Amino acid sequence: MDVPWDRKDQYPKEFMAEIVFSQVDAATSLVMVDLSSEEKENRKEKSMRKIEPEKLPAEGKAVTSVSDSASSSAINNGSVEATAAVVSNLVQIPDLTLPKQEKIYQQDSSRSSTSMSSGYDYDVFLSFRGPDTHSGITNFLYTRLLGARIHTFKDDEELRVGEEFGPELLTAISQSKIAIPIFSKGYTSSKWCLNELVQMVECSKTRRQKIMPIFYDVTPAEVRHQIGSYEEAFLSHKEKFGANVSKWKAALNHVANLNGWVNSKENRGEGELVEEIVEKVIDELKTAYLLVTDCLVGVENHVKEIDTMMCGESEDIRILGIHGMGGVGKTTLAKIIYNRLLHHFEACCFLSNIRETSELKGIEGLQNQLISDVLKKKWANISNVEEGIKIIKERLCGKKVLLLLDDVDQMTHWDALIGKPAWFSLGSRIIITSRNKDIIDVPEVCYPYEL
């Protein structure tokens, strides 16, 4: 039946409903029911079990099941079937009655969703000396990156009113996946450029940030040894900023030894250079972070709660199990958590749609992908599941891994892919999504999460 917006008060007040229009049919809406405050409190009080490699629970040991969430919903042919405990009929609300806040949420969600899904605010940070390159290669590169839908920080565009210049830039660097310093003849004359470079080097060590330098009308040798115009700049800096000079020089030396692009006016045109850089940036971004396209209502609350479970520097092995009906956003949430943890790990693997893939192609192909991704080399085909288990146990033993196993449907999937968590090194993080609650209700899952 049709329900006007002004009758919303007739529904039970113990439920909180958020209304967002389906992109398939703007005339229909999806009613998502949040947990009651009492149920949220029960979830927080749930015991958190940690796994130590030498103290694993016996396989198959039963545990108390996690309490179900208040309700779940399923989308069917552009409308929504809500469970009887919540709404007894299909609810259709005309587009004109949607409050402005919900419309704004959908229209302006791209940046917040990107930031939330990867744990970063920006894809690329551009560091440059304005008078040298601002109206030339920097502007050209910035425009081209935006055209490729790569979220890029350029300091003269993104500074917030009322904030100090230095701290804002340093924060932006640490919240970027890739840093591109554009070394020009006047780069080292700016203390801010040099401070940015020091921060990039620090982030490359602590957050696995990728630095991709451009040498524009200077050579790597000039940057590495601070000769030519760089030498002149440092003679001036030595008198004013004596304490900082050594760390500035160390950062220049470090970055000058990285692979990058060398360009001079006689060498090649800026258009050709920019296209090559953008292609490389796209390749770098797509090889690491998982694409998150679906917008999960209230995702910030879910992420905040799970962050307390999975993030931090603890060296125990942690397994997160996300359970829920099909279509409620388990995979979307799991990808976001995976992306937020990714910069802490060298060995990572995302196994998608395990239930369907194992039925069509067998579990051996998934074992092969796991081994190849973690070891970062193509592995020979695995002939049977037992062989795959043996290789995973022997070759991945002691590896600190980040794994996302999507849609695990049977314990045989678990046994074939991760066996015992003690196979992996301390500090490992494993995320599992499943429609089957029996997969989540096992002692190895330290943090069960109902969606």
Q: Cite the active site residues.
A: 196
The answer to whether the CB of 84 falls within 8 A of the CB of 76 is: no
Cα 191 from Cα 242, distance rounded (Å): 12
- CA–CA dist 124, 166 (Å, integer): 18
Tokens standing for 220? 């790597």
Q: Residues 40, 46, 52, 54: what is their CA dihedral angle, to the nearest 10 degrees?
A: -150
- For the chain, give the number of residues: 451
Do β-strands 261-263 and 214-216 pair in parallel, antiparallel, or remain unpaired? Answer: parallel
Contact (Cβ atoms closer than 8 angstroms) between residue 364 and residue 330: no
Asked whether the beta carbons of 95 and 27 are under 8 A apart, the reply is yes
What is the number of other CB atoms lying within 10 angstroms of the CB of residue 158?
14
Q: Which of 215, 263, 398 is nearest to 317 (CA)?
A: 398
Reading phi first (left if > 0) and then psi (alpha if -120 to 50, else beta), residue 327 is in: left
Q: Token digits for 379?
A: 């592995």
Q: Helices 139-147 and 270-286, interaxial angle, to 10°? A: 40
Q: By the 8 A CB rule, do 410 and 440 touch?
A: no
> What's the longest Cα–Cα distance across the chain?
78
CA distances from 283 to 117, 139, 144, 376, 436 (A): 18, 21, 15, 16, 36
Paired strand residues for 263: 216
Torsion sign across C-alpha atoms 112, 118, 193, 213: negative
- The SS3 call for residue 70 is coil
Task: Read off the tokens for 317.
Answer: 């092995």
Instruction: Report how far residue 349's alpha carbon sits from residue 153's, in angstroms, rounded to the nearest whole number.
Output: 29
Q: In this structure, what token pair is assigned to residue 38?
A: 């009492």
